[in-house]
Copies of this chain bind each other. A is one copy, B any other.
Amino acid sequence: MTYCVGMRLDTGLIFMSDTRTNAGVDNISTVKKMHTWAVPGERVIVIMTAGNLATTQSVISLLDERSKAPEERKPSILEAPSMFQVAREVGRTLKEVIGANATTGMEADGAFGATMIIGGQIKGSEPRLFLVYPEGNFIEASDDTPFFQIGEAKYGKPIIVRAHDPAMRFEDAVKLLMVSFDSTIKSNLSVGLPLDYVTYTGDSLAITHEERIEADDPYFQMVSNGWGEALKVAFDQLPEFKFD
């Protein structure tokens, strides 16, 4: 499985993904699911992937080749005039790859399916965040829906719903996502460390931080252990229940 979160903040965008891929529980590997393209001063694009690994790697490779080979450059996500067009191009490529592998064209629920979160900014417009479906269509984050999750989303959702605040600093957002990932990792073996994260400060048109949190990261360990204690304290602070 996979767990990825992309989130809008007043200051910009933040992305976090795990790195575990598995075919059954007896065949696990570490694979990067966070991909970035940047033309400093002009555009920053971040894509996170969930789903069939052959599909997602193929899509990323196609996008990447088109961004490098001048003669096959169009349509390239590095030349798209807007983040909307980037999302369209990613959706089109995703649909094409799934269609090429599926026996009878695109199958949304089939084994070849994949979902992607795309975020970034192109000079002259706002930072934007999209969720691309296996069918190739997509939705955009808004003030009402400020974050997207893909993969194993349920375990880690309640804490984001409760603690997300668009005014939060990147530091607090990293902490929040670590708590959300820790809850997921504790409940689903197919989501695992290390974690990758990227922060993007709006209008900077360059990636602000791009880091990997390793399995032995002392801060992550502290959050993981401390959160259990903090939850117990929070729980005890709730008013006592009494039977009638």
A18 shortest CB reach to chain B, Å: 16
* A175-B241, A240-B175, A241-B174 as given contacts; A235 in contact with B154, CB under 8 Å: no
Let me know if A102 is at the binding interface, CB within 8 A.
no
Q: Is the CB of A176 within 8 A of B235?
A: yes
Q: Is the CB of A232 within 8 A of B175?
A: no
Closest B residue to A156 by beta carbon equals: B158
A170 and B230 CA atoms in complex are apart in Å by 22
Q: Is the CB of B171 within 8 A of A243?
A: yes
Interface size on A, residues (CB 8 A): 42
Q: Is the CB of B234 within 8 A of A162?
A: no
Secondary structure call for the A interface: helix
Q: Is the CB of A186 within 8 A of B161?
A: yes
A162 and B183 CA atoms in complex are apart in Å by 9
A244 shortest CB reach to chain B, Å: 7
Binary contact readout A155-174 vs B (1 if CB under 8 angstroms, 0 otherwise): 11111011100000011101
Closest B residue to A243 by beta carbon equals: B209
Greatest chain B CB density within 10 A among A183, A233, A235 is at: A235
User: Which of A111-119, A139-147, A218-226 is found at the contact surface with chain B?
Assistant: A218-226
A218 shortest CB reach to chain B, Å: 10
A220 shortest CB reach to chain B, Å: 10
Q: Is the CB of A239 within 8 A of B211?
A: no
A13 and B27 CA atoms in complex are apart in Å by 38
Kindly list 8 other residue pairs between chains A and B, CB separation below 8 angstroms, not including A154-B187, A155-B157, A226-B237.
Answer: A158-B183, A158-B187, A162-B227, A162-B228, A162-B231, A175-B240, A209-B243, A230-B235
